[in-house]
Chain A
Amino acid sequence: MVAKIRMTHATALVLQALSSGHGYGFDIMDTTGLPGGTVYPALRRLESAGLVESAWEEGNEAQLEGRPARKYYRLTADGETARQDAAARFRVLGLLEASASGGPNS
């Protein structure tokens, strides 16, 4: 199910973060500097629109690290298209790849 969603700046940032391999909630928060109250609802909307899909972490990595398994998010094909559209609209996204942490203020 691919539904149209409102592409805000924050949503675009989340897509970009996912695209560059930041796969779970806090990772995205750290990378984008967006608050949790923005990141998670955005993930839910994206997921429900079919741009993002989620899966539980497999293997015993979590066990080795002594933590519970994470839920990872990744872009679907539609999600990748949407990210490219958004990247064209929001040039600033490109900056994200350059900055390791902190990121631009929105």
Chain B
Amino acid sequence: MRRLPLRCRGLLAVAARLVPAPRRADWRREWTSELTCTGPRRLLRRTLPSFSDALAIRRLERQQGGPAVGAIGGRRPLRFGWSPLRAAQRAARSLRQSPVFSIAAVLTLGLGIGANTAIFSFVNAVALKPPTVDDPGTLVRIYTSTPEGQPYGSTSFLELEDIVEQTDVFDGVVGYALAAGALTDEGRIELLLGEIVTGNYFDVLGAKIAMGRAFRPEEYETPGTHPVIVLGHGLWVRRFGEDPSIVGQAIRLNGVSFDVIGVADESYRGMLPALWVDFWAPSMMVRTLIPDAPNALTSRRSRQFMVHARLRDGVTVQEAQAAVGLVAARLEETFPESNAGHSMSVLKADSVRLHPSVDVWLLPLAMAALVVPGLVLLIACTNLAGLLLARATDRRKEIAVRLALGASRRQIVLYLLGESVLLSLVGGALGVLLATWLVRMITALTPPVIISLSFDVGVDYRVLVFTAGLSVLVGILFGLVPALRASKPELSRALKDEGAVVWRARRLSLRNALIVGQVAVSMLLLLVAGLFIRSLQEAVNIDPGFDTESSIVFTMNAAVRHDEPAGREYYRQVLARLNAYPGVTGVALADRLPLGFSGQTMQILVDQPRSESSRADAERGEAIHFARITPGYFHTLGIDLLAGRDFGDLDRQGSPPVAILSEAGARHLWGDENPVGNTIRRPGGVPLQVVGVARDTRVRTLGDGSEPYLYVPLEQSYESMLELIIATDRDPAAFIGEAQEVILQVDPDVIPLEVMTMSGGNAMILFPLRMAAGLLGGFGALGLLLSSVGIIGSLAYSVSCRSHEVGVRMALGASPGSVVGMVVSGGMRLVGVGMALGMVAALGVGQLLQGLLVGVSPTDPVAFLGVTALLAGVALLASWLPARRAAAVDPLAVLRKQ
């Protein structure tokens, strides 16, 4: 095929630039064809008419305000409407031209959106993601109410069987109870979270088994005879390295050997949100796995089971409720001593998340958790809005040209919004990556819990939809105001390149407001974080009233192997052996430890009431926290005895009941009188003689004041599940192994359920505070970083706008120092306003958080001063950087530019 000479092609290419872009290719093709056929002679002269042709097309199109011709047989007629693809292409092109801005924006958004996505992943796991059961629409939950007014309580095994036998509205009724099992292998102990379940559990719920099988009928018929177990997928991966040969092997749980018969499918994680259940065992193994409820299978009072049922075809929830209500009524009549006042209610399973009474505040709480990252995102947004405003001012000319060429304002706004949404979508994608990493970090923070938990928190479609929605929203949020502003410039000024040079304070007031807002929000975040960090400091310094450094604690349950008399004997032997062991300086048992979160109370009658209020208490008794302990408890924990004596070997079963009061308890009951020898009476119980007074300890949490506390001897009131406290003069953590050996020598089948050093236990007490301080501190730091970037960007921009003014000032004799001062003080004025606003907000929020703070007031001066200094320092630095640039302006160069 003939080709045009290079020069002709060059001329055509130049002329083609004159043709409006949509028609350019077509036009060029036509001319190439025309010229190719005319032969070489006069070709150059003939190429030139193409210019007048190109100009003619251009003129026509401008006259008609659109494409002059819908070419026939050539390209499709152009659509001038808005299409997402074109908008994205245009936005991408425009953003590629300013890579620094784009990268800064994407990073900012990625951080902000990532923080939100991470927290939302938790909210999703806890409050939104349903358990993966078959056909949740036909599944219901059945609750038994308590006479005390809890409408949604658990159900006993016998009641569950009654429901199965006495109703015909269900296709299957499933019961499950949470259980803890200590997995032992080669001396290592790991406490696992499991469910003991009725045999039809997997069938009725539709939970799949990946390997092996579910339970066989004979395995859930006779108590204690078939120790079989199905492993959770999480445990199988975590502990057994996905070894398929585990099915058929045995593992030891709570000292009993269980045959592994199957591994659950990855899709089924148990009925708890956010956590993987580690194992499932038949309900007949309840004695081993829930040792504190030995009568769970035989007593109607022992209500351990949560109940789910599958509705028979065509049965409504109301009909099921009627049938179950009938059963409950019949039970109340037949077994008044166990069932009086217990009714049953049926709820649709998918209407319940954790528990009906918890669900009420679960979602609000989850939403509240999103507030903090939401604030960080708000900072990121204002940051970007500021950047976009600056960018829009820079692009006034481009936008003015577009408007002059006939673009409508709507088109311009959509074009600019396209850019910001594209930015935030890319930022959102980055955010998802960041979030998966953040989630891993946050779940890794959790270990000081006794049970090894597998968190089922991750990115699923809900999280992705949330993030995508959030990104679009954010893109519009921060893009709309700048876009609206940019799309109505004063055309003639913008085209003449004016305006940008003239500094007009009023015009940039929106930018100022953005800085103030950012600073206010960071101030709020930092102050709240500061309060929690101060709480943490205070909490670490609080004297809990006992020695936390030199002891270790084993949680024991003798009921796994021994009934009461044997259990008493077992514990006596453990104490004796440990007492004799070198390195042990004290050993004791207690059923409650100070700072143990959970408390138990007994009712006491006050003998010699001192005031009117306690006289009224005297009528019906008064609740007091108490613990069962063995002699040596006070010595082991380093708690001083202030008066009287410790318990001794003579305080045993059958001897007169005795008690030791805490200082606060003694003061509460008898004022300054010496209580030793006084008697504490109990409604319906034997009176206790006070034999001693012990110094106060914190009872449940570090935030508690000194509360009355009562100690009674374990020998006079047996309990099988106990904390074994061993004080040592060696390194407690290193001593655990030796101590455990000594314990197992007494009975290798009584496995400690849990072991930790006392200081480790205290770390657990501090964990919520640590978590709050860490997360809030992290978000606060992120907010600070983002808003200082915002300050720098915003001031740098205004400085570049004011370079002319600065040049004039310097030409007239202003020193670089005074220029720096001018810029910095301008910036700091805004920062000051923002900080004041943030402080006011923090005072309000602090009042709400008062209950969560330990040892500091919501107006803690250290936190307020520290945060103020920090933020002011960072802001000063952020203003100084652009100020330095302003001072470096060469007045001559600026003036010459005019």
Contacts and interface: CB of A to CB of B under 8 A. Distances in A.
A70 B37 contact: yes
Given A26-B34, A36-B46, A40-B56, A54 B72 contact: yes
Nearest to B3: A68
A68 B52 contact: no
A25 B60 contact: no
A59 interface: no
Most buried by A among B34, B50, B71: B34
A9 interface: no
A24 B38 CA distance: 12
13 contacts: A26-B37, A40-B50, A40-B53, A44-B53, A45-B60, A48-B60, A54-B73, A54-B74, A56-B73, A68-B32, A70-B33, A71-B29, A71-B30
A67 B34 contact: no
B36 A67 contact: yes
A33 to B, nearest CB: 14
Interface string A46-58: 0110000111100
A88 interface: no
Contact of A24 (B32, B34, B73, B74): B34
Contacts of A39: 49
A53 B74 CA distance: 11
Contact of B29 (A35, A47, A68): A68
A56 B57 CA distance: 18
A41 interface: yes
Nearest to B64: A48
Interface residues of A, number: 24
A54 B32 CA distance: 16
B72 A36 contact: no
A67 B1 contact: yes
A24 B29 CA distance: 13
Contact of B52 (A41, A45, A54, A56): A41
Contacts of A10: none
A53 B69 CA distance: 9
Given A37-B52, A47-B69, A67-B36, 19 more contacts: A26-B37, A36-B46, A36-B48, A36-B49, A36-B52, A39-B49, A40-B49, A40-B50, A40-B53, A41-B53, A44-B56, A44-B68, A44-B69, A45-B56, A56-B74, A68-B32, A70-B30, A70-B33, A71-B30
A26 B38 contact: yes
A54 B71 CA distance: 7
A35 B36 contact: no
B2 interface: yes
B823 to A, nearest CB: 56
Contacts, number: 74
Interface string B53-75: 10111001000100011011110
Nearest to B63: A48
Question: Is chain B's interface secondary structure helix, strand, loop, or mixed overall?
Answer: helix
B49 A37 contact: yes
A61 B72 CA distance: 20
Question: 4 tightest A-B contacts by CB?
Answer: A36-B49, A41-B56, A40-B53, A55-B73
B290 to A, nearest CB: 84
A66 B73 contact: no
Interface of A: 24-26, 35-37, 39-41, 44-45, 47-48, 53-56, 62, 66-71
Contacts of A47: 68-69
Contacts of B72: 53-55
A63 to B, nearest CB: 9
A41 B19 CA distance: 13
Nearest to B52: A37
A25 B51 CA distance: 14
A100 B382 CA distance: 75
A44 B34 contact: no
A68 B36 contact: yes
A67 B52 contact: no
A44 B31 CA distance: 13
Contacts of A69: 33
Contacts of B64: 48
Nearest to A71: B30
A36 B49 CA distance: 5
A45 to B, nearest CB: 7
Most buried by A among B46, B53, B60: B53
Nearest to B30: A71
Contacts of A71: 29-30, 33
B49 A35 contact: yes
B67 to A, nearest CB: 9
Nearest to B33: A68
A17 B37 CA distance: 19
Contacts of B30: 25, 70-71
A37 B56 CA distance: 9
Contact of B57 (A44, A55, A68): A44
Nearest to A39: B49
Nearest to A66: B1
A65 to B, nearest CB: 8
B463 to A, nearest CB: 52
Contacts of B56: 40-41, 44-45
Given A41-B53, A44-B53, A56-B74, A70 B60 contact: no
Nearest to B26: A71
A26 to B, nearest CB: 5
